[in-house]
Each structure stands twice: as structure tokens, then as C-alpha cells.
A and B are shown apart, each in its own frame.
Chain A
Amino acid sequence: MRGLLSEMLNLFLLQALNGVQFGIMLFLVAAGLTLIFGIMDLINLSHGVLYMVGAYFAATFVALTGSFVLGLLLALPAALLLGIVLELLVFRRLYERDHLDQVLATFGLILILNESVKVIWGAAPLSVPVPEALTGSVQLFGNVRYPLYRLVIIAAGLATAAGLYVLVNFTRVGMLLRAGASNAPMVSALGVDIRRLFTVVFGLGAMLAGLAGALVAPILSVEPGMGDSVLILTFVVIVIGGVGSVRGAFIAAILVGVVDTVGRTFGPILLRTMLDPSAASQTGRALAPMLIYILMAAVLLFRPMGLFPVRGAVR
């Protein structure tokens, strides 16, 4: 009995860690969207495809250079450039439009970019190998081993979170972004070239999406449409956290990761203690995919502006 219990506890700890890890991966993808949607108040459904394009860039450049690091270093500016081009061509005209116009336009962009990717790289999924140096796993606690590469992702996620938090909350750029999102002409009338700032920051957001895509490429399948499934999750994360809050997005991402992972594994076990086995597995199966959405609905029921509503936000 004791042994079973401690084994359970061990598994629980490990699953919690897995959840955190999954959450951080989600945050990495959501980070760029926090800038574009959360701060600049632009509903950008095409964020998912930017993430996908990042992964494709990484796949291409890694294959070309034969080095993951070099590939990544090339993929990032490529994503930045794509972001800037898109901003100049499309998004620049969308800031002052209402949310629904943004939905329509970025829905169009999803179709365009998804299809372009298929034209350029084909419909078959691509591969990015885990960099040689990071293939192993490390001893964590007990006899639990953890893939090294996933630890790298955790580190990258934490660094991104910290960097964004500082950028948004403690720098002039962050202030100007928030100011520009609510009243761009006024910022300009005070002598700041807000359009250029928006262009650069949009590019940065696209680059963050690309970074996420490139970093998860060795773990996930690089295929057309890979952004679509992630897109909704990232919106969920940002909304649970409170639109515009980097801290909120980070905490929400981890919450979503942990609830999803732990709920999936321990939910059925818990249900089995209450229901008969077949009913338990039936309900467990039905509930598992809903967990994230139940979590979101519950959070919004009690906190209609998310966990960390941004002060002064008038959405």
C-alpha cells in the first residue's frame, strides 16, 4: 500500500512537471500573441500560421546548414522579416478597424499562408532533428529522467517570459505600445513615430511566434495547419490570464498545462473511485478533452476579465 502510494506521488510529481513543461511550451507560442493581441489589441488569428512558418524556416535552415543553432539563428530574422512585411502590407491597415474586420482579414491570411507553405514545402510533414548535444536526458529526482531538450524549452520559455515582462511593464517601448493601442494618433502628436514602433513590435511578435515554432519543431510535427490547433490554445491561455497581462498569460499557460496533463492522467483514476469502471472510463474520455475549456469557462465565470485583469483596460 505504502509503495503504491509513493509510486502514485512520484507519478503525480512527474505529471505536474510535465504539465508545467507543456504550459511553458504553450506560453512560448502565446508570448508573441500577448504582444500583438494582448497589448496592441489586434485579433490576430494568423498568429498560428506565423508559428508554423517559423517551424518551416527552422526546418529549412537547419537542413541547409546542418546545424540547429545556425538554422535557428537564420530562422529568427527570416520570421522577423516576414512579420515586418506582413505589417507593412496588411496589419498596418487593421489597427483601427474593429475586431471583426481583423478576424476576417486574418482568417484570409491563415488560408493564404497555409496554402503557400504547402506550395513551397509540400503537404508532407517535415523533420527537424533534436540538436546532437541536447539529445540525452538528465536525472531529476528518484529514478525520474527528463529529456534534456525539454529542459532547454523550459529555459527558453522562462527567459522569454522574463524578457517580455520587463519589456511591457518597465520600458518606454512597453508604455508606448499600450498608449498606442488605445490612442495611436495622440502618441504621434506627442512626437513618437508610433507606426514604426508598431511595425517593429509586430515583427518582434512574429519573431517570437517563429522562435516558438523553431524550438518545438524537434518535438512536434512540422506540417501545414500545425498552427491552427495551437492557435485556439494560445487564445485560451491569454484570455484566462487576462488580456494584456504577460504575467497572467504565463500563469495561465502553466495552469492550462498542469490541468490538462494532470487531469488527463489522474481524472480517470479519481473517477474510478466514484463510478463503476466502465462508466468512469466513459465519462473520463468525454471529459478529458473538455478540461481546458471547462477551466476557461470556470475562470471567466468567477473572474469575467481573466485571472489578472489589466488595470485600466476598458475592453
Chain B
Amino acid sequence: MNSSTTNIAPAHLAEVRVSFRTAGFAALAMFAILAALPLLTLVTGDAFVLVVATRIMIFALAALSLDLILGFGALVSFGHAAFVGIGAYAVAILNAYGVNDLLVQSLVAVAVAALFALVTGAISLRTRGVYFIMITLAFGQMLYFLMISLSAFGGDDGYTLPARSTVLGMPLLENNLVMFYTVLAVLVGAFLLARMLIASRFGRVLRGTRDNAVRMQAIGFSPSPYQLTAYVIAGSIAALAGVLLANQVEFVSPAYMSWQRSGELIVMVVLGGMGTLAGPIAGAAAFILLEEWLSSFSQHWKLGFGLILLLVVLFSKGGVGGLVKRLLGGAHHG
């Protein structure tokens, strides 16, 4: 019953292959809708939709990176928000020293996140299952408390960015539309990269390890270097999400890396259906839109939000993605 790594239902995993192509289509559709969104705002005149969409894409990016290790590597990280935080603080700290270029900031963010992932990942990968969950939580919390005690960058009060980052010296991102398409481009890029990774030799080893680590050793693989590499890649992508989040909000705060945030990222992935690349994107969208939508009804909107999450789990396997698939599948059968 209990698998040797963590208790992830093989039923989900088995569907990966089947869903890979449908996920591709689903993602394509989502990206197409997103790309056309600015046109829609022209028609409706409601430019705020872009702000929400940008926010969704940033969290989708973070969730996607988490899915890379969680859905395909069975490594449940409960400290993933730390990487988002690293990205955000890379922007803030470099800004404080007068470096505003987005590319430089991104490079530094990725480098620092990769290093942090390498060190903490190497230690965390000694454990498995719930122990892995908790040790990643521990590292996330350490970073969180470190940032809270860093008065130079506002501590808990956070750090207000005077302006968004520049691209080659130009303040392009100040324009919400440019910001939107930049984030979309990064998301699509990360999606393609993840897709390629999963289908590559490397990805196959990762997926195999998720299924049965001992079996992988018995055919001549030592799983941890692959898992560690995946962890580093995921951390780096999440850091990019952090860079973008800092720019969109123009404010950086330790709250970005609290354990609740890591938990929310997990919820997004599971909600959308883990182990599919379109899943986390759908999950992030569902999460944030629900939050937006429900909170406009009542002060007690969290009641409804919780209820929806609960019902999704109880009555659909494989999250929102699974639900949609089931509905479509059911229609076919019927």
C-alpha cells in the first residue's frame, strides 16, 4: 500500500502518458487564449483583466516548476515558495545596489536559487516521503526568517521597488502590456522546456525513479543526481517566477516565501492535476480566479473556497484537469 517513496497514487502516474498529448492541446489552447486576451480587453475596455492574467501566469510558472519535481519526480517540496522569494529578493537587493537590468537580475536570481537548491536539495534528498516534505519546509522557513530579520531590506515590512526592472536600459516593463507578454513568453518557454525535459533521457530517468527507485538502481542508475538536477532546475524556474512577481507587484516581502505560500503552490498543482504540464497552469488559474471571484460575493468567501477544494478532491481524481477529462470522456461514452 505504502510505496517506498511517497504515497502518490500510481493511478495518476499511469495516466501521464495518455494525458501528455491532451495536456499539450490543453496548454496550446490556454496559451492561445492568453495571447489573445489583450484584444479582448480592447473590446471590453477592462484592462485590469491583464493584471489578473499576469498574476495567474506568474503563479502558473511557479506551480509548473513545482510540478516538475512533484508530479514527475514524486518529490513533494513544501518549501518551494523559498525559491520564488529568492527571485523576488534578487530584484530588490540588486535594485538597492543600483542594478536594475532584468536580465542581470534574472541571472543572479537563477544562480542563487540554483545554489540554494543544490545545497538544500543534496541534504533533503537523503530523506524520503513525509520526511522530505518536512525538511524542505525547514529550509524554506529558515530563509523566511532570515529575510524577516534583514532590516536593510525592510524586514517584515518589505521593500518597495521604485520602478520595474529595465530591459537593456529601457523601462519597457512599465507598460502592462509588455509586462503581460514578457510573462507569457517566459511561461511558454518554461512549459516547452519542461516538456522537453520530461520527454528526454533525463526525464525518463526521473519518471522511472518516481515509479520505483529500487528498480532504477537495479538497472544501473543512481537516482539522486537526477533528482537533485531536477530540484535545481525547478528551483531556478521558480526564482524566475519570483523575479516576475517582484516586478509585477513592485514590492518584495518575506510573505512570498512563507510556508502557507508553499502550501498554496502544492494546492495549485494538485488542484490542476499533477504530473501533467497543463495541470499546474490550470490549477493556478482556478485558484486565483476562484479567490478573485468568490471574494467579491461575501466576506466569508473562504468557506466556499474550502468547500470547492474539498469537493474537487472527494469527487474527482486528478484535480480539475481530471474532472474535465472525465466529463469529456463521459460525453464520449454517452
Do A and B touch each other in the complex, judged by CB within 8 A?
A: yes
Q: Which residues of A contact B303 (CB under 8 A)?
A: 111-112, 115-116, 119
Give Cα distance in the complex from A288 to B129, angstroms.
28
Also in contact, A235 and B134, with CB within 8 A (given A104-B271, A111-B305): yes
> B295-334 toward A: CB 8 Å interface, digit per residue (1/0)?
0000010110111111011100101000000000000000
Q: Which residues of B contact A118 (CB under 8 A)?
A: 300
Number of interface residues of B (CB under 8 A): 51
Interface class of chain B by DSSP? helix
Q: Give the size range of A's interface with the partner.
A: 35 or more
Distance between B235 CB and nearest chain A CB, rounded to angstroms: 17
- Nearest B residue (CB) for A94: B313
Check A103–B146 contact: CB distance below 8 A: no
Check B130–A315 contact: CB distance below 8 A: yes
Stretch at the interface among B4-12, B84-92, B159-167, B215-223: B4-12
Q: Which residues B238-297 have CB closer than 8 A to chain A?
A: 259-260, 263, 266-267, 270-271, 274
Check A111–B9 contact: CB distance below 8 A: no
Q: Which residues A203-249 have CB closer than 8 A to chain B?
A: 228, 232, 235-236, 239, 243
Give Cα distance in the complex from A315 to B229, angstroms.
23
Check A99–B8 contact: CB distance below 8 A: yes
Instruction: Please tell me which one of the listed residues B145, B270, B310 contacts residue A286 in the complex, with CB atoms under 8 A apart.
Output: B145
Check A93–B270 contact: CB distance below 8 A: no
Q: Which residues of B contact A282 (CB under 8 A)?
A: 149
- Nearest B residue (CB) for A98: B9
Check B138–A296 contact: CB distance below 8 A: yes
Q: Which residues of B contact A196 (CB under 8 A)?
A: none
> B94-135 toward A: CB 8 Å interface, digit per residue (1/0)?
000000000000000000000000000001001111110011
Check A108–B313 contact: CB distance below 8 A: yes
The verdict on A43 contacting chain B, using a C-beta distance below 8 Å, is yes
Give Cα distance in the complex from A294 to B305, angstroms.
34
Check A115–B259 contact: CB distance below 8 A: no
The verdict on A261 contacting chain B, using a C-beta distance below 8 Å, is no
Most chain A CB inside 10 Å of its own CB: which residue of B150, B302, B307? B302
Most chain B CB inside 10 Å of its own CB: which residue of A94, A109, A115? A115
Check B7–A105 contact: CB distance below 8 A: no
Check B130–A239 contact: CB distance below 8 A: yes
- Nearest A residue (CB) for B303: A115
Instruction: Please tell me which one of the listed residues B1, B149, B274 contacts residue A100 in the complex, with CB atoms under 8 A apart.
Output: B274
Q: Which residues of B contact A104 (CB under 8 A)?
A: 266-267, 270-271, 309, 312-313, 319
Q: Which residues of A contact B4 (CB under 8 A)?
A: 314
Q: Which residues A265-283 have CB closer than 8 A to chain B?
A: 282
Check B307–A304 contact: CB distance below 8 A: no
Q: Which residues of A contact B123 (CB under 8 A)?
A: 297, 301
Give Cα distance in the complex from A205 to B139, angstroms.
29
Check B310–A109 contact: CB distance below 8 A: yes
Check B300–A115 contact: CB distance below 8 A: yes
Task: Mark B residues whose CB is within 8 Å of A.
Answer: 1-2, 4, 6-9, 12, 70, 76, 123, 126-131, 134-135, 137-139, 141-142, 145-146, 148-150, 259-260, 263, 266-267, 270-271, 274, 300, 302-303, 305-310, 312-314, 317, 319
Task: Mark A residues whose CB is within 8 Å of B.
Answer: 41, 43, 45, 90, 93-94, 97-101, 103-105, 107-116, 118-119, 182-183, 228, 232, 235-236, 239, 243, 282, 285-286, 289-290, 293-294, 296-297, 300-301, 304-306, 314-315
A-B contact pairs, 15 of them (CB 8 A): A41-B7, A98-B8, A104-B313, A105-B313, A107-B267, A108-B309, A108-B310, A112-B310, A114-B302, A115-B302, A290-B142, A290-B145, A297-B138, A300-B135, A315-B131
